[in-house]
Amino acid sequence: MRYSQLLLPTLKENPAEAEVVSHRLLLRAGFIRKLTSGVYSYLPLGLAAIRKVEQIVREEMNRAGAQELLLPVVQPADLWKESGRWEKYGPELLRFKDRHNRESCLGPTHEEVITDLVRMNVHSYRSLPLNLYQIQTKFRDEIRPRFGLMRGREFIMKDGYSFDIDEDGANVTYRKMYDAYHRIFSRCGLSFRAVEADTGTIGGSFSHEFMVLAETGEDTLAICKSDDDKCGYAANLEKAAGAAPQPAEPEVEMLPLEKVETPGKRKVVAVTAFLDISPKQLVKTMVYLADGKPLAVLVRGDHEVQEVKLKNMLGAVDVELADDKQIFDATGVPSGYLGPVGIRIPVVADREIAVMRNFVVGGGEKNYHLLNANLGRDFEVEQIGDLREVTAGDHCPRCSGELEFTKGIEVGHIFKLGTAYSEALNATCLDGKGREKHFVMGCYGIGVSRTVAAAIEQNHDKDGIIFPMPITPFKVVVLNLSPDDKEITSAAEQVYNGLREQGIEVLLDDRDERPGIKFKDVDLIGIPYRVTVGKGFAKDGTVEVRERRHGRTETMPLAEAAAFLLERIDREMATLNG
């Protein structure tokens, strides 16, 4: 490709709308342009990078035995009503009516459509396992789209769905996908980690997220840092559990409940300072609205409620923290003094509370707290479970190691769905004994456009993008520094053509621009290798080959450049494909 013919509108300055680095660089490097909030046009280079990721995904999915197909974007409401998600999915599902007033939606995910397709066409266990995937534009009307391609409303996703006759088969398929995902992100040249995750709106029993490690990640990961990674426990903070709390030994005796005046002390820090105790000796009473109904949640003073865990325990669609007025309306107690003793709304407790003795709680009236409260003696709760967020210093649930935290970008998510969808849509086939069975399903997503953004988050410097070799739009750029000079131009063309003949994707910068502009532009767009044909060639017939990532530069005769690059590129690709 010749730069002079390419739509590649680079920007010198950072667009005001872009905050995170991948967003800034994607805009500056002329890869994307925004149409409206969360909706982007992919320009030729942006699309080229996406196509690279798609191709790797395709190869690895096919290698793992999956088949590619393409499902409709527009989907009838009836199917979603059948699965129950027309009501459950919420406003993220973009709904509309067609000219006949039929309700429809834009597909945010395709469990319904694929399950319908399979139930209509697969009737025997002999056809299983079946693993189908597509690479397609998805639309989710996100509450808050942001960070360019990181969280768009319209984005490109690979979504795959598997169908097995039984749980064992589904586990084998899940494992295959787990391995395929490792290969995919390795081949993309990314540093990533698979973590245990919450299943979210997709539902199902078990899942892993694939996280690209980057500071700008929206997710927090808890990783066990036991020696040499032996344990390997890693989980999304939404899911991460600490080691189970141990009761004190010997058993601490319960002291008499005592009411104390704590005037104006509402926050944990204020109460504990006033009473001269540690936050670990206090239990806070948080009020949530679970699907609109008030509920008190007890956690230790130094802990925070993990809302996803709470939601899962309650089986609620939505939980949100109540405000002061809602707390007072529901309990008759002003916020800050609410406690579980004598409370008039249901209470659930974090499991830590069960092993605590003689703790401080709100007094149930303004300006009072209670000392020496104890679960079972002074109050009861409806449910006890793991409801808190793990914190630094918590120990791994599997081994004794400490947990540490890091930020990640979710680029892939795999789920064991079980029979949730096949039952809802009554999708069955016959097993070897002629019995009707619901398909045991799995689903497997990769954010293709997000993967490109994540790669940039992880690979850039002050001058621009530094593409990993497998997903770069061009592997080499040839700079013709003197388009007016016949000899230099013909030399640049020679390298360019030589590389093209070898099947290397190469960009020839043949623009009539000053050298500085060319250097800046090609640094910005992040092509791994640059060949400069300029005054060096005029002097002694040499060209300069420079590596984008480390800036290492070598000068060599023109004739050697193509072979040199070919060898380097092959070596790098081989390492990643390893």
Binding to RNA (CB under 7 A): which residues in 156-175? 157
CA distance 11 to 521: 9
Give yes or no for a contact between 175 and 164, defined as CB atoms under 8 angstroms apart.
no
| Site membership for RNA, residue 145 (CB under 7 A) | yes
Could you give the C-alpha distances from 383 to 38, 73, 380, in angstroms and in order? 40, 42, 9
Minimum distance from CB of 503 to RNA (Å)? Answer: 26
Binding to RNA (CB under 7 A): which residues in 74-133? 92, 109
**Pick from 301, 445, 470, 528: which binds RNA (CB under 7 A)?**
445
User: What would you report as the CA-atom Rg of the chain, rounded to the nearest whole angstrom?
Assistant: 29
For RNA (CB under 7 A), the number of binding residues is 71
Binding to RNA (CB under 7 A): which residues in 279-318? 307-308, 311, 318
**Pick from 325, 486, 514, 550: which binds RNA (CB under 7 A)?**
514
Which CB sits closer to RNA, 67 or 553?
A: 553
Minimum distance from CB of 34 to RNA (Å)? Answer: 6
CA distance 416 to 444: 9
Q: Which of 12-20, 330-338, 362-370, 391-399 is the region at the interface with RNA (rule: CB under 7 A)? A: 12-20
Minimum distance from CB of 147 to RNA (Å)? Answer: 5
Q: Which of 5-13, 75-83, 256-264, 385-393 is the region at the interface with RNA (rule: CB under 7 A)? A: 5-13
Give yes or no for a contact between 424 and 241, defined as CB atoms under 8 angstroms apart.
no
Give yes or no for a contact between 129 and 162, defined as CB atoms under 8 angstroms apart.
yes
Find residue 542's DSSP bridge partners: 557
| E strand or H helix at 447 | strand 440-447
CA distance 158 to 51: 12
Minimum distance from CB of 50 to RNA (Å)? Answer: 11
CA distance 253 to 195: 41
Give yes or no for a contact between 409 and 455, defined as CB atoms under 8 angstroms apart.
no
Q: Which of 29-37, 52-60, 61-69, 333-341 is the region at the interface with RNA (rule: CB under 7 A)? A: 29-37
Which CB sits closer to RNA, 7 or 574?
A: 7
CA distance 222 to 56: 29
| Site membership for RNA, residue 38 (CB under 7 A) | yes
| Site membership for RNA, residue 12 (CB under 7 A) | yes
CA distance 488 to 537: 7
Q: Which of 7-15, 44-52, 172-180, 374-382 is the region at the interface with RNA (rule: CB under 7 A)? A: 7-15
**Pick from 5, 37, 41, 577: which binds RNA (CB under 7 A)?**
37
Which CB sits closer to RNA, 140 or 437?
A: 140
Binding to RNA (CB under 7 A): which residues in 379-438? 410-413
Q: Which of 249-257, 280-288, 468-476, 538-546 is the region at the interface with RNA (rule: CB under 7 A)? A: 538-546
Which CB sits closer to RNA, 125 or 537?
A: 537
In eight-state DSSP terms, residue 378 is T
Which CB sits closer to RNA, 214 or 361?
A: 214
Minimum distance from CB of 328 to RNA (Å)? Answer: 18
Sheet holding 359-362, edge to edge: 258-261, 368-373, 359-362
Could you give the C-alpha distances from 344 to 173, 353, 422, 518, in angstroms and in order? 49, 19, 41, 71
**SS3 letters for 539-551?**
HHCEEEEEECCCC
3-state secondary structure of 203: coil
Q: Which of 13-21, 96-104, 113-121, 567-575 is the region at the interface with RNA (rule: CB under 7 A)? A: 13-21
Report H helices in 146-295: 167-187, 268-275
Strands 506-509 and 476-480: parallel
Sheet holding 383-385, edge to edge: 319-321, 283-290, 293-300, 347-350, 383-385
Which CB sits closer to RNA, 54 or 523?
A: 523
Binding mask 200-229 for RNA (x = CB under 7 A): xxx------x--------xx----------
Binding to RNA (CB under 7 A): which residues in 331-390? none
Minimum distance from CB of 360 to RNA (Å)? Answer: 27
**Pick from 4, 19, 72, 269: which binds RNA (CB under 7 A)?**
19
What count of Cα atoms within 13 Å lies in the side-chain half-sphere of residue 263? 0
Give yes or no for a contact between 85 and 148, defined as CB atoms under 8 angstroms apart.
no
Which tokens in the block code for residue 511? 């623009």
Minimum distance from CB of 167 to RNA (Å)? Answer: 22
**Pick from 68, 304, 320, 402: which binds RNA (CB under 7 A)?**
320
3-state secondary structure of 328: helix
Which CB sits closer to RNA, 140 or 438?
A: 140
| Site membership for RNA, residue 137 (CB under 7 A) | no
Residue written as token pair 């109460």 = 271
The amino acid present at 183, given as its one-letter code, is: R
**Pick from 241, 441, 446, 495: which binds RNA (CB under 7 A)?**
446
The amino acid present at 446, given as its one-letter code, is: I
Binding mask 175-204 for RNA (x = CB under 7 A): -------------------------xxx--
Binding mask 516-535 for RNA (x = CB under 7 A): xx-xxx-xx-------xxxx
Q: Which of 96-104, 146-154, 163-171, 375-383 is the region at the interface with RNA (rule: CB under 7 A)? A: 146-154
Give yes or no for a contact between 557 and 542, defined as CB atoms under 8 angstroms apart.
yes
Binding to RNA (CB under 7 A): which residues in 465-484? 481-482, 484
Binding to RNA (CB under 7 A): which residues in 543-572? 543-544, 546
Minimum distance from CB of 462 to RNA (Å)? Answer: 10
Which CB sits closer to RNA, 435 or 535?
A: 535
CA-based nearest residue to 327, from 381, 291, 290, 287 = 287
Which tokens in the block code for residue 4? 């002079």
